Amino acid sequence: KRRVHLTPEQASEFYAEHYGKIFYATLIAYISSGPIEVLVIARENAISILHELIGPQNSFKAKATAPASLRAIYGTDDQQNGIHGSDSFTSAEREIRFFFPDMIVAPIPVRLAAKDYLVRNVNPTLLKGLTELCKQKPKDPVLWLADWLLENNPNKPHPIDMVTS
C-alpha cells in the first residue's frame, strides 16, 4: 500500500494507452488532482474478484446494477468513478512496476503448488523448530520460536568465510 500524488506528467505516463481519446485530458486532471491510495492485491483470480468488488466502470451503471460496489459508493460520474482496477495480468504487472518499482512480481503459488511448497520448504523447518521448542520449554514459546525460525532459516544468506593466505 502506498499513498502518492501524481503529477500530470506521471498520470500521462500511467494512462499513456488512453492518449488521444476524448476523455484523456479530464482523466489526467482528475487522477493528478490529489493523493491516491495504491494497493497490490495478490491472490488467485485477483483481477476478477477485484472487479466484482469495485463494480462497473461507469458509476451511474454501478449505482443501478451494483449498489454495494465501491464505484457506486465513491464514484460521481462516468469518468470520476473513484477506483482503478487492472483489467488484465499484463496491465497489473505494468501498473505494479509503475508504482512499486522495487517489488518483484511473481506468480503466487496456488492449490497444489502452494501445498507442495509448504511440504518441501516450510514443514521440515517448522517441525524441527517445534520439536526443539518442546524440548526447551521456554518461558515465552512464541518469541522463542520466532527467534529460532529467524536463526535457522534455510534460505538465510551466510557470509563466505574469508580465507587468508
Catalytic positions, written as ranges = 84
Q: Rounded CA gap, 78 and 62, in Å?
A: 10
Q: Closest by alpha carbon to 56, among 45, 72, 41?
A: 72
Q: Closest by alpha carbon to 36, among 83, 72, 79, 70?
A: 83
Residues 138 and 54 sit within 8 Å (Cβ to Cβ) = no
- In DSSP notation, 4-34 reads E---HHHHHHHTGGGTTSTTHHHHHHHHTSS
